[in-house]
Amino acid sequence: MSFDKSTHVETCVCAGLSDASVTGKSTHVEACVCAELSDASVIGKAIDALRKGRMILLFDADDREGETDMVIPALCATPAHIARMRRDGGGLICVAIHAVAADKLGLPFMSDVLRSVSLNGHKSLRTLVEKKGDITYDSRSSFSLWVNHRDVFTGITDNDRALTIRKIGENVERVLTGEKVDFGDEFRSPGHVALLRAASGLLGERCGQTELSIALALGAGICPSMVVCEMLDEKTGRSLSKEDARKYGRKHDMPFIEGKNVL
């Protein structure tokens, strides 16, 4: 697969990336969200916003987590975006990346790391590792490593996290254009930014915010590295309701879409 660097625009978005360019397959799969959608206008607005480096709101499903995430391309993340996510979102600020990029960068699922360690000297971890049935709404979590870029100070400030996130996006872009990348040259772990590894089969395998955001990136033709953050409600102690998330989107001119629109 290859990126055409000449297609970059001021919004930091890389154009021209299709599902075929990532997987090597000649046919588009469910990640190609540009066609046969139940509500093309809703998806169209979201894709247009992502191409311009703007934030959107993405709700997974009523019968899943039932959560809305704030989503923006990693390449476009600024300190102001991080501040908005922690202030108005309140959940974990994570970076979802395509499985192909994760493989090329050597980024495993955290559960696999813990499982391996538990079998090689740390027996106490065996009961701690995520097991089938632990997550009621899915078969497994998508967490990979937690990282900081080596140029940050503590790693937690808006400036530090924005830098780490943009650099993650740059490394995903580099590795998907064919460059050989040693992720450890620029990053260290543990850190303050959680990496989420999308399922290899994307929406055919899992329909979490990780896969939905990557599917949208592919449909938009941008680098498949997306920042996601859950929206929480301090009044109820729960996730922000879908209705309130819609209101927030209207107030701040952010497209609101549901997972069913992407499937």
CA nearest neighbour of 252 among 97, 101, 55, 91:
55
Q: What per-residue confidence (pLDDT) applies to 88?
A: 98
Q: Give the integer Cα–Cα distance in Å for 217 and 32.
A: 9
CB count within 10 Å of CB 181 equals: 18
- The answer, yes or no, to whether residue 190 has pLDDT greater than 70, is yes
Element (H, E) at 214: helix 209-220
* Predicted confidence (pLDDT) at residue 30 exceeds the cutoff of 90: no
Out of 88, 130, 192, 205, which one is annotated catalytic? 192
Q: Identify the active-site residue in 160, 230, 258, 261.
A: 230
Q: Which of 69, 158, 160, 211 is catalytic?
A: 69
| Distance (Å) of CA 32 to CA 46, 48, 63, 220 | 14, 14, 23, 8
Q: Which of 25-29, 98-102, 177-181 has the lowest mean pLDDT?
A: 25-29
Confidence of residue 39 (pLDDT cuts 50, 70, 90): low
Active site includes 261?
A: no
- Domain boundaries in the chain? 6-262
- Average pLDDT for the chain: 87
**Position of tokens 């093309």?**
40
- How far is it, in rounded angstroms, from Cα 49 to Cα 77? 14
Give pLDDT, residue 9: 34
Q: Compare 53 and 130 and report the one with higher pLDDT.
A: 53
The active-site residue, picked from 94, 207, 223, 229, is 94
* pLDDT (average), residues 219-227: 97
Segment 99-156, tens digit of pLDDT: 999 999 999 999 999 999 999 889 889 898 888 889 888 878 899 999 999 999 999 9
- pLDDT exceeds 60 at position 14: no
Pairing of strands 225-233, 90-97: antiparallel
248 tagged catalytic? no
DSSP 182: -
pLDDT confidence of residue 216: 96
How far apart are the C-alpha atoms of 187 and 95, rounded to whole Å? 14
* 250 CB-near residues (< 8 Å, 6+ apart): 256
148 flagged as catalytic: yes
pLDDT in tens, 153-168: 999 999 999 999 999 9
171: annotated active-site residue: no
Is-catalytic flag, 223?
no
CATH superfamily of 6-262: DHBP synthase (3.90.870.10)
Q: Which residues contact 232 (CB under 8 A, 6 or more apart)?
A: 89, 90, 91, 238, 239, 240
